[in-house]
Structure 1
Amino acid sequence: MALLKLNELKKELKTLEQKELMQLISDLYKVNKDVQQYLSNRFKGEEAIKDLYEKTKKIVENEFFPNRGFAKMRLGVARDAISNFKKLSSDDGKTIDLMLYYVETGTKFTNTYGDIEEKFYNSMVSMYNKVVNECNKSEEFYNIFKDRLYLIVSETDGIGWGYHDDICAIYYSLDWLEEDE
Protein backbone atom coordinates (compact mmCIF):
# COMPACT_ATOMS: atom_id res chain seq x y z
CA MET A 1 0.00 0.00 0.00
CA ALA A 2 1.52 3.27 -1.11
CA LEU A 3 0.61 6.09 1.25
CA LEU A 4 1.18 9.73 0.41
CA LYS A 5 4.07 11.35 2.15
CA LEU A 6 3.30 14.64 3.91
CA ASN A 7 5.14 16.74 1.31
CA GLU A 8 3.21 14.95 -1.47
CA LEU A 9 -0.06 15.64 0.34
CA LYS A 10 0.78 19.33 0.68
CA LYS A 11 1.60 19.50 -3.02
CA GLU A 12 -1.76 17.92 -3.89
CA LEU A 13 -3.67 20.18 -1.48
CA LYS A 14 -2.16 23.29 -3.11
CA THR A 15 -3.85 22.31 -6.38
CA LEU A 16 -7.33 22.30 -4.81
CA GLU A 17 -9.68 25.23 -4.67
CA GLN A 18 -11.27 26.35 -1.39
CA LYS A 19 -14.57 24.60 -2.14
CA GLU A 20 -12.72 21.33 -2.86
CA LEU A 21 -10.70 21.68 0.35
CA MET A 22 -13.89 22.25 2.33
CA GLN A 23 -15.44 19.12 0.79
CA LEU A 24 -12.32 17.07 1.55
CA ILE A 25 -12.28 18.18 5.19
CA SER A 26 -16.04 17.55 5.48
CA ASP A 27 -15.57 14.03 4.08
CA LEU A 28 -12.74 13.36 6.56
CA TYR A 29 -14.97 14.62 9.36
CA LYS A 30 -17.73 12.20 8.37
CA VAL A 31 -15.55 9.08 8.23
CA ASN A 32 -13.14 9.49 11.13
CA LYS A 33 -13.99 10.02 14.82
CA ASP A 34 -10.46 11.27 15.59
CA VAL A 35 -10.82 13.94 12.91
CA GLN A 36 -14.19 14.92 14.40
CA GLN A 37 -12.61 15.28 17.83
CA TYR A 38 -9.52 17.09 16.53
CA LEU A 39 -11.59 19.64 14.61
CA SER A 40 -13.97 20.06 17.56
CA ASN A 41 -10.99 20.75 19.82
CA ARG A 42 -9.57 23.17 17.29
CA PHE A 43 -12.75 25.18 16.80
CA LYS A 44 -14.64 24.71 20.09
CA GLY A 45 -11.50 24.82 22.23
CA GLU A 46 -11.67 24.14 25.95
CA GLU A 47 -15.29 22.96 25.89
CA ALA A 48 -14.46 20.10 23.50
CA ILE A 49 -11.21 19.25 25.30
CA LYS A 50 -13.04 19.07 28.63
CA ASP A 51 -15.62 16.74 27.09
CA LEU A 52 -12.88 14.50 25.67
CA TYR A 53 -11.10 14.55 29.04
CA GLU A 54 -14.25 13.35 30.83
CA LYS A 55 -14.82 10.60 28.25
CA THR A 56 -11.20 9.45 28.57
CA LYS A 57 -11.39 9.42 32.35
CA LYS A 58 -14.54 7.29 32.13
CA ILE A 59 -12.79 4.82 29.81
CA VAL A 60 -9.96 4.44 32.34
CA GLU A 61 -12.39 4.03 35.24
CA ASN A 62 -14.52 1.48 33.37
CA GLU A 63 -11.54 -0.82 32.82
CA PHE A 64 -11.16 -1.15 36.61
CA PHE A 65 -14.55 -0.27 38.10
CA PRO A 66 -17.34 -0.60 35.50
CA ASN A 67 -20.88 0.42 36.38
CA ARG A 68 -22.05 -3.13 35.64
CA GLY A 69 -20.28 -6.44 35.47
CA PHE A 70 -16.71 -7.28 36.25
CA ALA A 71 -13.58 -5.30 35.55
CA LYS A 72 -11.97 -6.15 32.24
CA MET A 73 -8.63 -4.60 33.22
CA ARG A 74 -7.62 -4.07 29.61
CA LEU A 75 -4.67 -1.88 30.47
CA GLY A 76 -3.96 -1.28 26.79
CA VAL A 77 -7.44 0.17 26.28
CA ALA A 78 -6.95 2.62 29.16
CA ARG A 79 -3.42 3.57 28.08
CA ASP A 80 -4.50 4.00 24.44
CA ALA A 81 -7.35 6.29 25.53
CA ILE A 82 -4.86 8.49 27.40
CA SER A 83 -2.47 8.48 24.45
CA ASN A 84 -5.32 9.41 22.13
CA PHE A 85 -6.35 12.25 24.44
CA LYS A 86 -2.79 13.59 24.40
CA LYS A 87 -2.61 13.41 20.61
CA LEU A 88 -5.98 15.07 20.03
CA SER A 89 -5.87 17.73 22.74
CA SER A 90 -2.20 18.68 23.18
CA ASP A 91 -3.17 19.53 26.78
CA ASP A 92 -0.18 18.44 28.86
CA GLY A 93 -1.77 19.20 32.24
CA LYS A 94 -4.91 17.17 31.60
CA THR A 95 -2.81 14.37 30.05
CA ILE A 96 -0.66 14.13 33.17
CA ASP A 97 -3.81 14.19 35.28
CA LEU A 98 -5.20 11.23 33.30
CA MET A 99 -1.91 9.34 33.58
CA LEU A 100 -1.93 9.82 37.33
CA TYR A 101 -5.60 8.83 37.48
CA TYR A 102 -4.68 5.57 35.73
CA VAL A 103 -2.15 4.76 38.47
CA GLU A 104 -4.52 5.87 41.25
CA THR A 105 -7.33 3.73 39.86
CA GLY A 106 -5.07 0.72 39.34
CA THR A 107 -3.76 1.05 42.89
CA LYS A 108 -7.30 1.35 44.25
CA PHE A 109 -8.24 -1.77 42.28
CA THR A 110 -5.45 -3.88 43.77
CA ASN A 111 -6.18 -2.55 47.26
CA THR A 112 -9.84 -3.50 46.75
CA TYR A 113 -9.46 -6.92 45.14
CA GLY A 114 -6.00 -8.13 46.12
CA ASP A 115 -2.76 -8.97 44.44
CA ILE A 116 -2.58 -8.82 40.64
CA GLU A 117 0.09 -10.08 38.24
CA GLU A 118 3.52 -8.54 37.69
CA LYS A 119 2.58 -7.18 34.24
CA PHE A 120 -0.16 -5.10 35.87
CA TYR A 121 2.27 -3.50 38.33
CA ASN A 122 4.86 -2.92 35.62
CA SER A 123 2.25 -0.93 33.71
CA MET A 124 1.39 1.13 36.79
CA VAL A 125 5.08 1.79 37.55
CA SER A 126 5.76 2.76 33.94
CA MET A 127 2.92 5.28 33.91
CA TYR A 128 3.89 6.68 37.33
CA ASN A 129 7.44 7.11 36.06
CA LYS A 130 6.15 9.09 33.06
CA VAL A 131 4.22 11.40 35.39
CA VAL A 132 7.27 11.96 37.61
CA ASN A 133 9.39 12.68 34.53
CA GLU A 134 6.89 15.33 33.43
CA CYS A 135 6.86 16.82 36.93
CA ASN A 136 10.66 16.93 36.94
CA LYS A 137 10.50 19.04 33.77
CA SER A 138 8.01 21.51 35.24
CA GLU A 139 7.81 22.88 38.76
CA GLU A 140 4.26 24.01 37.93
CA PHE A 141 3.19 20.41 37.25
CA TYR A 142 5.03 19.22 40.35
CA ASN A 143 3.11 21.73 42.48
CA ILE A 144 -0.20 20.68 40.93
CA PHE A 145 0.34 16.93 41.35
CA LYS A 146 2.70 16.54 44.34
CA ASP A 147 -0.01 15.59 46.86
CA ARG A 148 -1.45 12.93 44.56
CA LEU A 149 2.01 11.60 43.75
CA TYR A 150 2.75 11.14 47.45
CA LEU A 151 -0.67 9.63 48.16
CA ILE A 152 0.14 6.86 45.69
CA VAL A 153 3.32 6.14 47.66
CA SER A 154 1.28 5.64 50.83
CA GLU A 155 -1.54 3.73 49.05
CA THR A 156 0.93 1.21 47.58
CA ASP A 157 2.39 0.25 50.96
CA GLY A 158 2.09 -3.51 51.38
CA ILE A 159 1.38 -4.31 47.73
CA GLY A 160 3.48 -7.12 46.30
CA TRP A 161 5.72 -7.63 43.27
CA GLY A 162 7.99 -4.77 44.41
CA TYR A 163 5.31 -2.28 43.41
CA HIS A 164 5.64 -0.11 46.49
CA ASP A 165 9.45 -0.18 46.33
CA ASP A 166 9.44 0.88 42.68
CA ILE A 167 6.92 3.66 43.31
CA CYS A 168 8.98 4.93 46.27
CA ALA A 169 12.21 4.94 44.27
CA ILE A 170 10.55 6.90 41.47
CA TYR A 171 8.85 9.32 43.85
CA TYR A 172 12.07 10.10 45.71
CA SER A 173 13.78 10.85 42.39
CA LEU A 174 11.66 14.00 42.09
CA ASP A 175 13.98 16.99 41.70
CA TRP A 176 11.67 19.34 43.60
CA LEU A 177 11.51 17.34 46.85
CA GLU A 178 14.68 18.88 48.28
CA GLU A 179 13.22 22.37 47.83
CA ASP A 180 10.05 21.39 49.71
CA GLU A 181 11.94 20.31 52.82
Structure 2
Amino acid sequence: MTKLKVTDLKKQLKNYEEKELISIILELYKLDKTVQEYLSVKFVGGDAVDELFERAEKEVKDEFFPAKGHGKLRLAVAKQAISRFKKLSKDHLKTIELMLIYVENGTKFTRTYGDIDLRFYNSMESMYDNIIMECEKSKELFDLFQDRLYAIVEDSDGIGWGYHDALENLYYSLSWLEEDE
Protein backbone atom coordinates (compact mmCIF):
# COMPACT_ATOMS: atom_id res chain seq x y z
CA MET A 1 0.00 0.00 0.00
CA THR A 2 1.31 3.41 -0.97
CA LYS A 3 1.41 5.72 2.03
CA LEU A 4 0.04 9.24 1.64
CA LYS A 5 2.56 11.91 2.61
CA VAL A 6 1.57 14.73 4.97
CA THR A 7 2.07 17.38 2.29
CA ASP A 8 -0.15 15.44 -0.14
CA LEU A 9 -2.76 14.96 2.57
CA LYS A 10 -2.84 18.72 3.22
CA LYS A 11 -3.35 19.38 -0.49
CA GLN A 12 -6.20 16.87 -0.65
CA LEU A 13 -7.93 18.20 2.48
CA LYS A 14 -7.93 21.76 1.10
CA ASN A 15 -10.27 20.52 -1.65
CA TYR A 16 -12.99 19.48 0.81
CA GLU A 17 -15.87 21.48 2.25
CA GLU A 18 -16.36 21.76 6.03
CA LYS A 19 -19.15 19.12 6.10
CA GLU A 20 -16.98 16.65 4.20
CA LEU A 21 -14.07 17.22 6.59
CA ILE A 22 -16.34 16.67 9.58
CA SER A 23 -17.55 13.45 7.99
CA ILE A 24 -13.96 12.24 7.48
CA ILE A 25 -13.06 13.03 11.09
CA LEU A 26 -16.15 11.19 12.35
CA GLU A 27 -15.24 8.14 10.24
CA LEU A 28 -11.72 8.18 11.68
CA TYR A 29 -13.15 8.51 15.19
CA LYS A 30 -15.31 5.43 14.70
CA LEU A 31 -12.49 3.41 13.13
CA ASP A 32 -9.64 3.87 15.57
CA LYS A 33 -9.42 3.83 19.37
CA THR A 34 -6.28 5.99 19.36
CA VAL A 35 -8.10 8.66 17.34
CA GLN A 36 -10.96 8.52 19.86
CA GLU A 37 -8.50 9.01 22.72
CA TYR A 38 -6.67 11.82 20.93
CA LEU A 39 -9.83 13.73 20.10
CA SER A 40 -11.20 13.20 23.62
CA VAL A 41 -8.04 14.75 25.08
CA LYS A 42 -8.17 17.56 22.53
CA PHE A 43 -11.83 18.46 23.13
CA VAL A 44 -12.68 17.17 26.62
CA GLY A 45 -9.34 17.93 28.24
CA GLY A 46 -8.50 17.09 31.85
CA ASP A 47 -11.16 14.44 32.45
CA ALA A 48 -10.07 12.54 29.34
CA VAL A 49 -6.42 12.81 30.43
CA ASP A 50 -7.35 11.46 33.86
CA GLU A 51 -9.15 8.49 32.27
CA LEU A 52 -6.20 7.82 29.98
CA PHE A 53 -3.87 7.98 32.97
CA GLU A 54 -5.96 5.51 34.98
CA ARG A 55 -6.04 3.11 32.03
CA ALA A 56 -2.28 3.39 31.46
CA GLU A 57 -1.59 2.98 35.17
CA LYS A 58 -3.68 -0.19 35.24
CA GLU A 59 -1.91 -1.54 32.14
CA VAL A 60 1.51 -0.94 33.74
CA LYS A 61 0.56 -2.44 37.10
CA ASP A 62 -1.18 -5.44 35.51
CA GLU A 63 2.04 -6.51 33.84
CA PHE A 64 3.53 -6.97 37.31
CA PHE A 65 0.59 -7.57 39.67
CA PRO A 66 -2.74 -8.21 37.92
CA ALA A 67 -5.92 -8.58 39.96
CA LYS A 68 -6.00 -12.29 39.05
CA GLY A 69 -3.15 -14.64 38.35
CA HIS A 70 0.51 -13.81 37.96
CA GLY A 71 2.08 -10.90 36.14
CA LYS A 72 3.14 -11.63 32.59
CA LEU A 73 6.04 -9.22 32.90
CA ARG A 74 5.69 -7.99 29.34
CA LEU A 75 7.85 -4.91 29.81
CA ALA A 76 7.24 -3.76 26.25
CA VAL A 77 3.48 -3.68 26.90
CA ALA A 78 3.96 -1.59 30.05
CA LYS A 79 6.36 0.80 28.33
CA GLN A 80 4.02 1.10 25.36
CA ALA A 81 1.21 2.16 27.73
CA ILE A 82 3.47 4.92 29.08
CA SER A 83 4.54 6.01 25.61
CA ARG A 84 0.95 6.07 24.31
CA PHE A 85 -0.17 8.15 27.30
CA LYS A 86 2.70 10.60 26.78
CA LYS A 87 1.90 11.05 23.07
CA LEU A 88 -1.82 11.45 23.54
CA SER A 89 -1.90 13.59 26.67
CA LYS A 90 1.32 15.60 26.50
CA ASP A 91 1.02 15.59 30.33
CA HIS A 92 4.64 15.63 31.50
CA LEU A 93 3.94 15.23 35.22
CA LYS A 94 1.62 12.26 34.81
CA THR A 95 4.02 10.65 32.35
CA ILE A 96 6.78 10.82 34.99
CA GLU A 97 4.28 9.38 37.47
CA LEU A 98 3.70 6.39 35.16
CA MET A 99 7.44 5.92 34.75
CA LEU A 100 7.81 5.84 38.54
CA ILE A 101 4.98 3.34 38.84
CA TYR A 102 6.81 1.14 36.31
CA VAL A 103 10.04 1.11 38.33
CA GLU A 104 8.27 0.83 41.69
CA ASN A 105 6.32 -2.20 40.50
CA GLY A 106 9.35 -3.76 38.84
CA THR A 107 11.31 -3.43 42.08
CA LYS A 108 8.40 -4.78 44.11
CA PHE A 109 8.07 -7.69 41.67
CA THR A 110 11.67 -8.79 42.08
CA ARG A 111 11.44 -8.37 45.89
CA THR A 112 8.34 -10.58 45.82
CA TYR A 113 9.46 -13.28 43.37
CA GLY A 114 13.27 -13.14 43.45
CA ASP A 115 15.90 -12.24 40.89
CA ILE A 116 14.82 -11.85 37.30
CA ASP A 117 17.29 -11.40 34.42
CA LEU A 118 19.67 -8.71 33.24
CA ARG A 119 17.25 -7.49 30.53
CA PHE A 120 14.65 -6.81 33.23
CA TYR A 121 17.05 -4.83 35.41
CA ASN A 122 18.41 -2.90 32.43
CA SER A 123 14.85 -1.84 31.60
CA MET A 124 14.19 -0.73 35.17
CA GLU A 125 17.50 1.17 35.35
CA SER A 126 16.87 2.85 32.01
CA MET A 127 13.43 4.05 33.08
CA TYR A 128 14.79 5.24 36.44
CA ASP A 129 17.57 7.08 34.59
CA ASN A 130 14.95 8.81 32.40
CA ILE A 131 13.12 9.96 35.53
CA ILE A 132 16.36 11.21 37.10
CA MET A 133 17.19 13.16 33.93
CA GLU A 134 13.77 14.83 34.03
CA CYS A 135 14.18 15.64 37.74
CA GLU A 136 17.60 17.12 37.04
CA LYS A 137 15.89 19.67 34.77
CA SER A 138 13.35 20.76 37.37
CA LYS A 139 13.77 21.30 41.10
CA GLU A 140 9.97 21.27 41.51
CA LEU A 141 9.76 17.87 39.83
CA PHE A 142 12.59 16.58 42.00
CA ASP A 143 10.90 17.89 45.16
CA LEU A 144 7.66 16.22 44.16
CA PHE A 145 9.19 12.80 43.52
CA GLN A 146 12.27 12.77 45.78
CA ASP A 147 10.79 10.52 48.47
CA ARG A 148 9.59 7.95 45.96
CA LEU A 149 12.87 8.00 44.06
CA TYR A 150 14.78 7.37 47.26
CA ALA A 151 12.30 4.67 48.37
CA ILE A 152 13.01 2.77 45.14
CA VAL A 153 16.73 2.86 45.94
CA GLU A 154 16.07 1.57 49.46
CA ASP A 155 13.70 -1.14 48.21
CA SER A 156 16.29 -2.33 45.71
CA ASP A 157 18.88 -3.04 48.42
CA GLY A 158 19.98 -6.66 48.17
CA ILE A 159 18.72 -7.19 44.62
CA GLY A 160 21.33 -8.72 42.34
CA TRP A 161 22.79 -7.85 38.96
CA GLY A 162 24.12 -4.54 40.30
CA TYR A 163 20.60 -3.14 40.26
CA HIS A 164 20.76 -1.44 43.65
CA ASP A 165 24.17 0.10 42.98
CA ALA A 166 23.04 1.47 39.62
CA LEU A 167 19.92 3.08 41.09
CA GLU A 168 21.85 4.47 44.02
CA ASN A 169 24.46 6.00 41.70
CA LEU A 170 21.75 7.55 39.54
CA TYR A 171 19.91 8.97 42.56
CA TYR A 172 23.04 10.51 44.09
CA SER A 173 24.05 11.99 40.74
CA LEU A 174 21.25 14.57 41.12
CA SER A 175 22.70 18.04 41.58
CA TRP A 176 19.71 19.05 43.74
CA LEU A 177 20.98 16.77 46.53
CA GLU A 178 24.20 18.79 46.81
CA GLU A 179 22.19 21.99 47.29
CA ASP A 180 20.21 20.47 50.17
CA GLU A 181 23.35 19.60 52.15
TM-score class, shorter: over 0.9
Cα distance between partner residues in 1 of 2:166 and 2:88 = 31
The worse-fitting range, judged by mean Cα deviation, of 87-96 and 167-176 is 167-176
Which consecutive unaligned segments of at least 5 residues does structure 1 have?
A: none
Aligned residues: 181
- Give the TM-score normalised by structure 2: 0.98
Supply the distance in 2 between the matched residues of 1:85 and 1:49 (Cα, whole angstroms): 8
Q: CA deviation at 1:14?
A: 1.1
Q: Cα offset for 1:2?
A: 2.0
CA distance in 2 between partners of 1:154 and 1:10 (Å): 53
Give the match for residue 158 of structure 2: 158
- 4+ residue segments displaced more than 6 Å: none
Match of 1:8 in 2: 8
Q: Runs of 5+ in structure 2 lacking a partner? A: none
Q: How does 1:39-118 map to 2 (within 5 A)?
A: 39-118=39-118
Q: State the alpha-carbon separation in 2 of the partners of residues 86 and 163 from structure 1.
A: 26
Q: Indicate the percent of aligned positions where both proteins have the same amino acid.
A: 59
Letter in 2 for 1:51: E
> Residue in 1 aligned with 2:148?
148
**How far 1:71 sits from its partner (Å)?**
1.2
- Counterpart Cα distance in 2 of 1:3 and 1:133: 36
Q: State the Cα deviation string for residues 38-93 of structure 1 (Å, max 9, x = none).
A: 00011110000000100100001111111111110000000000000000000000
Q: Which residue of 2 aligns with 1:132?
A: 132
**1:55, 1:81 → 2: CA distance?**
8
Structure-1-length-normalised TM-score: 0.98
